[in-house]
Structure 1
Amino acid sequence: MTDYILSGGMVYDGWGGPPRRADIAVTGDVITAIGDLSQETAGRIFSVEGLAVSPGFIDIHTHSDFTVLDNPGMGSSLAQGVTTELTGNCGISIGLATSDPVFAQEKKWTERGGNPVQWERLSEFLGHVEAAAPAVNFGSLAGHGTIRKAVMGFGENAPDAQELLRMSAMLDDAFEDGAFGLSSGLEYIPGSHAGHDELTALARRAAAAGAFYSTHMRNEGDFLVESVQEAIAVAEAANAPLQISHHKAEGHANWGKIAQTLALIEQSREAGFDVMADMYPYSAFMTGLSVILLPEWARHGSNTDLAARLIEPLTRSRILDEIHAKDWDWSAIQIGTARHHREAQGLTLATLGFRAGLSPAEAAIDLLAAEDGWVSAAHFAMSEDDIAAVMTDSLTMIGSDGVAQDPHGPQSGDKTHPRSFGTFPRVLGHYVRELGVITLSEAIQKMTTLPAKRMKLTDRGALEVGRKADITVFNPETVADRATFDEPNQYPTGIELVFVNGRLSVEGGVPTGVRAGAVLRR
């Protein structure tokens, strides 16, 4: 007997065409019929007239490998309509960290949730995820930065032949374990030490495995164009499919450069290369405050090394001189997470400095030192025109760059980026309904079949008979994000039903507590 019938909805199959009115039957974990099912019976029938019925959203860019073991309910993802996440982005893969002391920061992150690193390769980590029973389908990339750290620590030199061989072997093991691709984070230590030859050699391994290369580029501001050129050069030399992460232009002086980078991407496509991108619909990014503020040399080594530099008088003075040499809008940088100084969360650096009786830069450095080098911050540095331009690119998909959260859990005190709760509803509500930047069919395609194509998922991402029953039902007239930078831990409105592998996981906009996600392997 059919388990569920969704009756009378406007069905968007995910391929970008117009919707059609149809019913959908779900039996077990698959879609078993689409059409007029008015004479059929089911365990439960939902009338979804006036609602959009879409494939479950695939979030191509997340960092939920940080939280899935202590928050397998993944409420902030589910409530957005997300049914699949790809983690391990930006060169950082928790599943490739080990018990080695070099991973002290990663162990600090996981131990905070009560989950010490007790795996030595990706397959073991994915086994822990399966045991935790995630609410959302879960896949992982292999992070170059994590691999480099495992082999070379925080070394700044290029790898020698033996080190590159060890990195390649570790990457091959990750692909054997099911990694969907190789990710790099060239703005972060130690990934920033990698050069063209190292990246190309590893991207070739990805291509040989039938995987792709995803990159958080070296720079998304003053050297954005050069960074896109570098990413394309690596991918073309390796003949690897390229995914440009969170494509954007940071800083007012760089607004408009998106026209140049989109042109570079199109040129590569016309030459026959597979270049795609993802983006999130916000004019502020969030990363480590040290990444935003400090010169690159000051961030070398571990977070503890960084904190020590900030309190050594001569080094501190040099860092301040270099910070003050730039023109900053201190009111545009807002403290996100400072776990030992919650009173600073939500303050701009302008306000932080005023309260401390210091310059904003001095106050920021003091906070970083007190937090052992780790503070997150939002930087309101992007243009709405650039956001729209990236969104209209036909092969740009939606990725939150977020982390699955519980709005009432132990991490709810963090001032996280609202993208963790609002990315997909924000696109559907603000950019589709209110601004008309793209159509609803185009938006759904960017959330479903495009990421499924990138991940080579043939059983998910579209509403077709025989595919897995990952389904999101939403009201196109009311869907909207509610999460803000001041109050980020809020579920959206308008997401009515979500099915993951055929099981009802969200009803009336609220997660049901069902955890039906599967671990996906390439």
Structure 2
Amino acid sequence: MNTHCTHHDLIIKDVRIFDGTGEEERRGDVAVKGDRISAIGSLERSSSAAVIEGGGLALAPGFIDVHTHDDAQVLSQDPMASKITQGVTTVIVGNCGISLAPLQPDGPVPAPLNVIGDESIYQYPKFSDYIASLQSAPPAVNVAPLVGHSTLRVGAMDSLDRPATDKELDKMGACLQEALDAGAIGLSTGLYYPPARHAPATEVLQLLKLMAGTGGIYTTHMRNEDDHVEESLRESFETAASAGVPLVVSHHKCMGHKNHGLSTQTLKMFDEVRRHQTVGLDAYPYIAGSSSLLPEMVEQSTRVLVTWSQPYPEFNGWDLERIAEVLNCTIDETIERLVPAGAIYFCMSEDDVRRIITYPYTMIGSDGIPYGAHPHPRLWGTFPRVLGRYARDLELMPLETAVHKMTGLAASTFGLKDRGRIVEGAFADIVLFDADRIADTATYEEPIRPANGIELVLVNGLIALDHGTMLEACAGHVVLREK
């Protein structure tokens, strides 16, 4: 506890400090100088250029969204309101095998690469070019980038419906190595999706071996999350173990009605493998997922909402069945007419969602997709929903545990140095919120709505949100893998 007399840039007084470790809250003051936390404790004798009276509000590290598709959004000088108004100060991009670099295509990109935008935004032949663009125009939030396996495949192969040849693998490996040298924090795969569906585990393994011993992490949207989810988990565990790299299973779920309840078994698999292997997972607090509009995902869902359609923008936000009626088509014919398009898929069980989210090693990731006119509400609501609905209202976990999942656990898993904790010397990514009021307001019908209860957000010491007002600070850092 720091009590000595020091001058700071800002002191936030009288707050309930949730430090990100999962330990119980403590009452005190938090000071900031420059872009770092400079003191914590009773700071009556300290002076400051500015003082904010916390009035007993909760203070936590800025939330870390470990699973985003904000690759293009963070380049656009967008104030990132969908993140900042949730208290998110750091995003991990390049998930599900989809990264904006390294790729400069000659024509349209295949789904699901289009979930972050069309071919016009893929203008980075080297990963270092993408990093340089981020550094030249700082984003509103911190950005930690993964390189996507599907992006590598699209750049190296003339046909994606087969395994890569040795020559193509060499090209992918060279691109991956360039990305790692530029500071990419790891490799992601999207083996469920068409661009990578025909990639055998041996192809992924050969690429992962380039990361062995570097600290790079492997994240995967597994080959299957429905009828063969257990088999896909085993493949993911074995591939990462063979390469000697840490693994994160993305947005863990059990899709399809006949697989509801299977999380009791899949989480036991995580318990078993964690005894001898570094494995983590993330999840979002909704029973619906979202991605490109794909027939195979429609088949597993009880309801489908179209988020965007290039040929038929007038159907944004409509139920797929209603669109089929209007077009007088079968579902398959309707999909063919709507694509390229995106969709929301209702395919999960609330019991599974609760079980997975409360699992001790589950991080929180929104999997939000900012591209499209009618996004999934998780883009604006994920973190307040966990804190308000699941921790406070349903009492599924203590508030300090929920905060840990979205701060300290995320930072330690992804190697984000000096982030995710309220401790002297850490970067001053801070969120001040009302634990009694915090709640998501975004719905499937009205998805673009900021949460309640987020009072103040600092990114690297600069105020980005002040009582609901966005300040467009653009104080984000590019967070690269330490070499």
Q: TM-score, normalising length from structure 1? A: 0.87
> Percent of pairs identical after alignment?
39
What's 2:380 paired with?
421
Work out the CA distance in 1 between the residues paired with 2:223 and 2:474: 37
Is this contact kept in 1: 2:109–2:118, CA < 8 A?
A: no
Q: Does 1:463 align with 2:428?
A: no
Query: Secondary structure at the residue paired with 2:212?
Result: helix
Superposed CA deviations along residues 27-54 of structure 1, whole A, max 9, x for unmatched, are: 1101110000123221111111221100
Indicate whether 1:72 and 2:78 are aligned: yes
Counterpart residue number, 2:204: 199
Q: Output the amino acid matched with 1:158.
A: P
Q: 1:333–1:378: 8 Å Cα contact kept in structure 2? A: yes
SS at match of 1:286: strand
Kindly indicate whether the alpha-carbon contact (under 8 Å) linking 1:427 and 1:443 is maintained by their aligned counterparts in 2: yes
| Aligned 8 A contact 1:421 1:490 in 2 | yes
Question: How many aligned positions are there?
Answer: 475
Q: Specify the SS of the correspondent of 1:225.
A: helix
The structure 2 residue matched to 1:362, chosen from 320, 324, 333, is: 333
Within 5 A, what are the aligned runs for 1:323-402? Answer: 329=302, 332-368=303-339, 374-402=340-368
Closer, same or farther in 2 for the Cα pair 1:109/1:419, shift >3 Å? closer
SS in 1 for 2:16: strand
In structure 1, the residue matched to 2:263 is 258
Give the counterpart of 2:233 among 214, 228, 232. Answer: 228
- How far apart are residue 470 of structure 1 and its match? 0.5
- Partners of 2:77 and 2:140 within 8 A in 1: no
1:424-466 CA distance string (max 9 Å, x none): 0010011011111111111111001111112212211100001
Structure number with the higher helix fraction is 1
Cα deviation, residue 143, structure 1: 0.5
Q: Is residue 12 from structure 1 mapped to residue 52 from structure 2 by the alignment?
A: no
**Conserved 8 A contact 1:65-1:95:** no
Q: List per-residue Cα deviations over 1:355-409 (Å, max 9, x = no partner).
A: 23333343333323xxxxx111111111111011111211110001114x5xxxx
- Out of 23, 28, 31, the residue aligned to residue 37 of structure 2 is 31
Are the aligned partners of 2:72 and 2:100 in contact in 1 as well (CA < 8 Å)?
yes
Q: CA deviation at 1:222?
A: 1.3
Secondary structure, aligned partner of 1:378: strand
Written as runs of structure 1 = structure 2, the 5 A alignment for 1:117-266 is: 117-266=122-271
Offset, 1:96: 1.6
Query: Deviation of residue 212 (structure 1)?
Result: 1.1
Cα distance in 1 between the residues matched to 2:158 and 2:14: 57
Aligned-partner Cα distance in 1 for 2:252–2:113: 29
Matched AA of 1:37: L
The C-alpha deviation readout for 1:205-246, integer Å capped at 9, x for no partner, is 222322111000111111111111111111111121110000
Residues of 1 paired with 2:289 and 2:113: CA distance?
Answer: 25
Contact 1:188 1:291 in 2 (8 A): no
Dislocated runs of 4+, deviation >6 Å? 104-113
Q: Secondary structure at the match of 2:411?
A: helix
Letter of the 1:462 counterpart: R
Q: Do the aligned partners of 1:225 and 1:257 also contact (CA within 8 Å) in 2?
A: no
Q: Report the more deviating stretch, 224-233 or 152-161.
A: 152-161
Please say if residues 89 and 429 of structure 2, whose CA atoms lie closer than 8 Å, have aligned partners that are also in contact: yes
Bigger mean CA offset, 386-395 vs 203-212: 203-212
Match of 1:441 among 400, 414, 426: 400
1:418/1:455 Cα in 2 relative to 1: closer, same or farther (>3 Å)? same
Structure 1 residues without counterparts, runs of 5 or longer: 295-325, 369-373, 406-410
Task: Provide the TM-score with structure 2 as the length reference.
Answer: 0.94
Structure 2's unaligned 5+ residue stretches are 1-6
Q: How far apart, CA to CA, are the structure 1 residues paired with 2:273 and 2:300?
A: 35
- Structure 1 residue identity aligned to 2:241: E
Structure 1 pair 177/243, CA: closer, same or farther in 2 (3 Å)?
same
